[in-house]
């Protein structure tokens, strides 16, 4: 680019900025938006109008005001021709104007050379690095053009990891991400403006077929009062749509097994132990735990699309389908009840359909249909760890599942006047959770701990029965959702006003799990102190002898439940001056959770969430922006809280010694060691009264956030910036399972508790004073207030996050693009959020944290999603019109390790939780005190070839993921003890590792 062209483009940029602020257009950058806007300036004259005509057939025309300004908002994504008219006759036009979701694009007719997008870096060869002076939020937008170039995993989460401050969640939760230190269930997913978050636990969400994504927004904070129910981040996808030209295409990708590297084998730790400690099984330290040689897979995906006009300028369609299949091998651990090689299969078909009807120039109707399925099955072949081989004969199958999600979304937009717009979105969904356990016996129980069977009985060879699992789910389990949002927007002088409602309903049926076989499983175990009671707090005595014992385990949670979430909001985006924009908003949320008999057990009203944002264009030319944001974000409880909570559940153990083991692995000659089935949480299959499960004044989890940052151009081709973020969790929700403390308080007050029904567990706000109702057998309820001190806690829930993000970017100029982000951050406290990653506990808001005061002693430290240092890079280089190379890299420090053990220096077990206290070999040990997992590097590279002989429509590409083949541990086993002075053989061992290097080949054709 020559300096003269840069200078003129800069002049336009200054003009466009004044328009954006002066007209109150301000980009309208809202989370989950599906539209953009165009605005600009023309020489003021009578009879002047500006019309836009989009590739989607949308046509609108507005008057140019007396100051020479115009604006057209709420336009569907696409490419537009913008035309200045004088008395109905075209005077000047701008072609190929691309708009970005939630952004304003400035197009002026004052001799300017090109349109400049004020909310995103354009992809035109003569484009400047553009700073979005109109936004007060923190977000990253990835377009379809970038997705086609970069080597990325084909999921919404893989795209989200490009954004600063976003890290992968614990792999035990599946494919999830954490935003800004928040738990992985604290995010929201949207497709075309409708919430597609996983409806039961909010673990992830549904995404579009990869090739159907037009744009994906990743919000990391500061979003509008229009949206809520998230204190982590937002992943919002807008799907492609048909245009006035027919387009077809297809793609096939293949990741061959022969080009994939093996994962590392996993071995039992053999560490130097503190004096007086021994491993639970002294024979296995240093031996193999899991052989992963040959545990590779191949993946293929086939996709196709077609889009175009059914009626020119009026009715459009876009259809796409994607079918991904994966097959591979996975060897189970040596301690499993029946070691085997699982030859598994995944199938992940997706379908997307979009219809757009331009009823007339003032009314648009859109319909989207999304299907996303996942099925899993496998064949098990017995594996012999002694020889390192597996049998050729099939002996069983693992649990198989099929998840099927369907979404139907309709949106109506009416441009009532040039200044008044009404939009309404209605959607509904259905998800089926179907699970099958092949080979599950109706009479034989599942066995665990078989390597700890008494060798005097087995001769040292474990006796197993081949039953693959203990848990089953209902065949008709599933969820349904429906939602309605209505938005009314009005431009009043310098104010862009918005008001609306945002309602969502979730219903789940027969979710949870039950026991297979005879309804229980057997677990074999051994204590190193045979003369000591196993669980003295529950009346379970000592096994004696050599310490061998067994217990019968029952766990059943199947239930139904529902949630209603309602909200309304008000917002004013106010242009204070040509250089200053204020965004003032308020949102009110109302959450109601219902149990299996449709009785409300949580009803949270009048939750006011203020949002305040500001943007200052320092020099008035969009070259330097300073911005800030203050906001409060409420988080609803998902449906799963009713599981093991507001509905009935059973969780018991019954302890025995034994004198024999039959041919099917079941113990014989049983002698009871306790009073019968015992439960540390008193879960004996009785549902609590809906009014007594939670307090009458329960507050929702909410978080306050503050952001301050700047963006600055660096010469004509670069932009850089920095942003500081501070988040503080103000209120959390978890369960407390120490009902005896309520009885203690009432007795101290002289209350007769003999007629009161005091549960073991309640949900509550840790650190706050809550009021509980207790059933009185004499009639009515007894009210009791419980403070932090009454429960025995010395502090409430704490989670704080601070971060400094810095970036440097070179937008695509027709030749190359690059962006690098560095984030320094810290997340610390005593509460991760709704889940607990170190224990892989996805019992949302019912984790082991806060069950009793003893569990929270020493619980403070750096939290599981903390990554102090993150360095991210992505970019592409067009070597020639035919050849393109691209890459992405992510380098980050490790996650904190946890060491849990028995309580105090004397290794007690005061509340019968075994070795789950924050003590490590008798010493206090908070999260991170045991160190961190190692730094990880992930470098992905790609090369693409688009031959000229095929008019660049045919493409071949090869991508290499994890080029350096790093296979470092990402998570470790946290429990250090199985008994007093007895160290778990798996403590500190890796549970998950980086995915080894693999190659993806692809071929595509676009017409």
Q: Would you state the structure tokens that stand for residue 840, as one six-digit string?
A: 């892989």
Angle 584-588-594 (CA atoms, 0-180°, nearest 5)?
155
Buried b (16+ CB within 10 A) or exposed e, 801-836: bbbebebebbbbbeebbbbbbbbebebbbbbbbbbb
pLDDT exceeds cutoff 90 at 280:
yes
Grade residue 15 by pLDDT with cuts at 50, 70 and 90: very low
pLDDT exceeds cutoff 90 at 656:
yes
Grade residue 495 by pLDDT with cuts at 50, 70 and 90: very high
pLDDT exceeds cutoff 50 at 124:
no
Q: Which residue has the tokens 């599933």?
A: 478
- Mean pLDDT of the residues in the chain: 91
Buried b (16+ CB within 10 A) or exposed e, 284-300: bbeeebbbbeebbbbbe
pLDDT score, position 110: 62
Pairing of strands 363-384, 340-360: antiparallel
Burial class (CB in 10 A: 0-12, 13-18, 19+), 872: buried
Is residue 158 within 8 A of residue 167, CB to CB? The reply is no
Q: What mean pLDDT do residues 9-20 have?
A: 39
Provide, rounded to the nearest whole percent, the portion of the chain with pLDDT above 70.
95
- Give the number of residues written for the chain: 1007
pLDDT score, position 122: 30
Could you give the 3-state DSSP secondary structure of residue 307? strand
pLDDT exceeds cutoff 90 at 202:
yes
pLDDT score, position 4: 27
Strands of 858-997 (E only): list them. 861-862, 869-878, 883-892, 919-920, 923-924, 936-945, 954-961, 969-972, 977-979, 982-983, 990-993
Grade residue 600 by pLDDT with cuts at 50, 70 and 90: very high
pLDDT exceeds cutoff 90 at 903:
yes
Bridge partners of 307, per DSSP, are 247, 318
Answer with the residue of higher pLDDT: 630 or 98: 630
**Per-residue model confidence as pLDDT tens digits over 824-853:** 999 999 999 999 999 999 999 999 999 999
pLDDT score, position 130: 65
pLDDT score, position 602: 95
For 922-947, give the secondary structure using H, E and C. CEECCCCCCCECCCEEEEEEEEEECC
pLDDT score, position 125: 29
Grade residue 964 by pLDDT with cuts at 50, 70 and 90: very high
**Per-residue model confidence as pLDDT tens digits over 127-186:** 334 687 888 999 999 999 999 999 999 999 999 999 999 999 999 999 999 999 999 999
Grade residue 32 by pLDDT with cuts at 50, 70 and 90: low
pLDDT score, position 788: 97
**Per-residue model confidence as pLDDT tens digits over 516-565:** 889 999 999 999 999 999 999 899 999 999 999 999 999 999 999 999 99
Residues contacting 700, CB < 8 A, separation 6+: 589, 591, 604, 607, 634, 635, 636, 637, 731, 733
pLDDT exceeds cutoff 80 at 97:
yes
**Per-residue model confidence as pLDDT tens digits over 701-730:** 999 999 999 999 999 899 999 999 999 999
Structural domains of the chain, with CATH:
35-124 (2.60.40.10), 138-239 (2.170.130.10)
pLDDT score, position 763: 95
Q: What mean pLDDT do residues 283-299 have?
A: 97
pLDDT score, position 29: 43
Grade residue 989 by pLDDT with cuts at 50, 70 and 90: very high
Answer with the residue of higher pLDDT: 721 or 55: 721
Grade residue 119 by pLDDT with cuts at 50, 70 and 90: very low
**Per-residue model confidence as pLDDT tens digits over 448-491:** 999 999 999 999 999 998 887 788 888 889 999 999 999 999 99
Q: Would you state the structure tokens that stand for residue 745, as one six-digit string?
A: 């308080």
Grade residue 998 by pLDDT with cuts at 50, 70 and 90: very high
Q: What mean pLDDT do residues 749-755 have?
A: 95
**Per-residue model confidence as pLDDT tens digits over 870-888:** 999 999 999 999 999 999 9
């Amino acid at each position: 680019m020559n300096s003269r062209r840069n200078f003129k483009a800069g002049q336009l940029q200054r003009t466009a900025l004044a328009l954006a602020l002066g007209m109150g257009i301000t980009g309208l950058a809202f989370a989950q938006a599906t539209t953009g806007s165009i605005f600009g300036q023309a020489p003021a004259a009578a009879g002047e109008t500006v019309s836009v005509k989009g590739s989607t057939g949308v046509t609108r025309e507005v008057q140019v005001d007396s100051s020479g300004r115009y604006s057209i908002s709420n336009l569907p994504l696409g490419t537009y021709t913008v035309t200045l008219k004088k008395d109905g006759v075209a005077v000047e036009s701008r072609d190929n104007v691309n708009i970005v979701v939630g952004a304003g694009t400035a197009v002026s007719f004052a001799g300017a050379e090109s349109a400049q997008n004020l909310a995103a870096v354009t992809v035109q060869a003569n484009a400047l690095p553009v700073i979005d002076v109109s936004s007060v939020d923190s977000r990253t937008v990835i377009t379809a053009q970038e997705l086609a170039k970069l080597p990325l995993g084909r999921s919404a989460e893989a795209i989200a990891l490009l954004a600063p401050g976003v890290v992968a969640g614990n792999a035990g939760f599946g494919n999830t991400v954490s935003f800004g230190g928040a738990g992985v269930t604290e995010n929201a997913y949207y497709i075309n403006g409708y919430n597609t978050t996983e409806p039961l636990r909010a673990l992830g969400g549904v995404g579009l077929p990869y090739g159907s994504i037009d744009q994906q927004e990743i919000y990391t904070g500061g979003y509008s009062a229009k949206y809520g129910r998230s204190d982590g981040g937002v992943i919002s996808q807008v799907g492609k749509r048909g245009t006035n030209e027919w387009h077809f295409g297809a793609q096939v990708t293949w990741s061959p097994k022969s080009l994939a590297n093996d994962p590392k084998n996993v071995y039992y730790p053999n560490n130097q132990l503190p004096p007086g400690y021994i491993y639970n099984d002294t024979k296995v330290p240093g031996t193999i735990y899991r052989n992963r040689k040959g545990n590779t897979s191949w993946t293929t995906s086939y996709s196709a699309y077609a889009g175009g006009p059914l009626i020119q300028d009026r009715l459009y369609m876009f259809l796409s389908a994607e079918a991904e299949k994966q097959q591979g091998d996975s060897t189970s651990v040596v301690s499993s009840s029946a070691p085997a090689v699982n030859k598994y299969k995944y199938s992940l078909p997706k379908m997307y359909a979009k219809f757009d009807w331009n009823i007339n120039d003032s009314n648009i109707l859109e319909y989207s249909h999304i299907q996303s399925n996942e099925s899993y099955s496998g064949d098990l072949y017995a594996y012999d760890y002694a020889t390192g081989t597996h049998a050729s004969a099939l002996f069983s199958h693992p649990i198989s599942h099929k998840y099927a999600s369907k979404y139907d979304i309709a949106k109506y937009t009416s441009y009532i006047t040039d200044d008044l717009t009404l939009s309404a979105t209605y959607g509904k969904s259905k998800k089926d959770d179907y699970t099958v356990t092949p080979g599950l016996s109706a009479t034989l129980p599942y066995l665990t701990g078989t390597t700890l069977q008494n060798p005097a009985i087995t001769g040292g060879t474990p006796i197993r029965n081949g039953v693959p699992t203990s848990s089953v789910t209902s065949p008709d389990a599933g969820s349904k959702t429906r939602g309605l949002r209505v938005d009314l927007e009005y431009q009043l002088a310098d104010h862009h006003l918005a008001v609306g409602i945002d309602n969502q309903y979730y219903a789940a049926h027969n979710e949870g799990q039950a026991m297979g076989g005879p309804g229980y499983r057997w677990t074999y175990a051994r204590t190193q102190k045979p003369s000591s009671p196993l669980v003295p707090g529950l009346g379970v005595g000592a096994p004696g002898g050599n310490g061998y014992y067994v217990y019968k385990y029952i766990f059943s949670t199947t239930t139904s439940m529902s949630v209603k979430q309602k909200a309304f909001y008000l917002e004013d985006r106010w242009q204070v001056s040509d250089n200053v924009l204020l965004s003032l908003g308020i949102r009110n949320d109302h959450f109601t959770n219902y149990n299996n008999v449709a009785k409300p057990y949580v009803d949270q009203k009048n939750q006011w969430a203020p949002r305040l944002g500001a943007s200052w264009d320092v020099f008035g030319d969009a070259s330097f922006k300073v911005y800030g944001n203050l906001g409060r974000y409420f988080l609803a409880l998902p449906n799963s809280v009713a599981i093991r909570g507001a509905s009935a559940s059973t969780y018991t153990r019954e302890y025995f010694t034994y004198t024999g083991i039959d041919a099917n692995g079941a113990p014989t000659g049983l002698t009871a060691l306790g009073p019968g089935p015992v439960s540390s949480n008193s879960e004996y299959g009785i549902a609590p009264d809906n009014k007594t499960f939670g307090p009458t004044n329960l507050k929702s989890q909410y978080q306050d956030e503050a952001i301050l940052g700047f963006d600055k151009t660096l010469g004509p081709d670069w932009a850089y910036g920095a942003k500081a973020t501070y988040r503080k969790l103000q209120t959390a929700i978890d369960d407390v399972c120490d009902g005896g403390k309520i009885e203690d308080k009432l007795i101290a007050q002289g209350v007769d508790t003999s007629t009161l029904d005091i549960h073991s567990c309640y949900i509550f706000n840790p650190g706050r004073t809550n009021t509980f109702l207790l059933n009185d057998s004499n009639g009515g309820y007894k009210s009791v207030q419980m403070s932090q001190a009454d429960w025995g806690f010395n502090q409430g829930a704490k989670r704080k996050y601070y971060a400094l993000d810095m970036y440097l970017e070179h937008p695509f100029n027709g030749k190359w693009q690059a962006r690098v982000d560095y984030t320094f951050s810290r997340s610390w406290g005593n509460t991760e959020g709704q889940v607990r990653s170190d224990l892989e506990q996805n019992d949302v808001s019912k984790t082991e944290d806060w069950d009793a005061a003893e569990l929270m002693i020493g619980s403070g430290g750096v939290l599981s999603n903390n990554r102090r240092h993150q360095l991210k890079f992505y970019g592409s280089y067009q070597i020639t019109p035919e050849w393109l190379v691209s890459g992405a890299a992510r380098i980050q420090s490790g996650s904190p390790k946890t060491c849990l053990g028995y309580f105090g220096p004397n290794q007690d077990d005061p509340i019968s939780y075994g070795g789950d206290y924050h003590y490590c070999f008798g010493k206090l040990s908070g999260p991170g005190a045991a160190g961190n997992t190692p730094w990880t590097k992930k470098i992905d590279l790609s090369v693409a070839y688009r031959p000229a002989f095929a008019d660049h429509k045919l493409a071949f590409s090869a991508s290499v993921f994890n080029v350096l083949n790093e296979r470092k541990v990402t998570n470790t086993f946290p429990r250090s003890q199985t008994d007093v002075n007895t160290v778990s053989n798996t403590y500190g061992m890796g549970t998950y590792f980086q995915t080894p290097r693999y190659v993806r080949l692809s071929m595509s054709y676009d017409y």
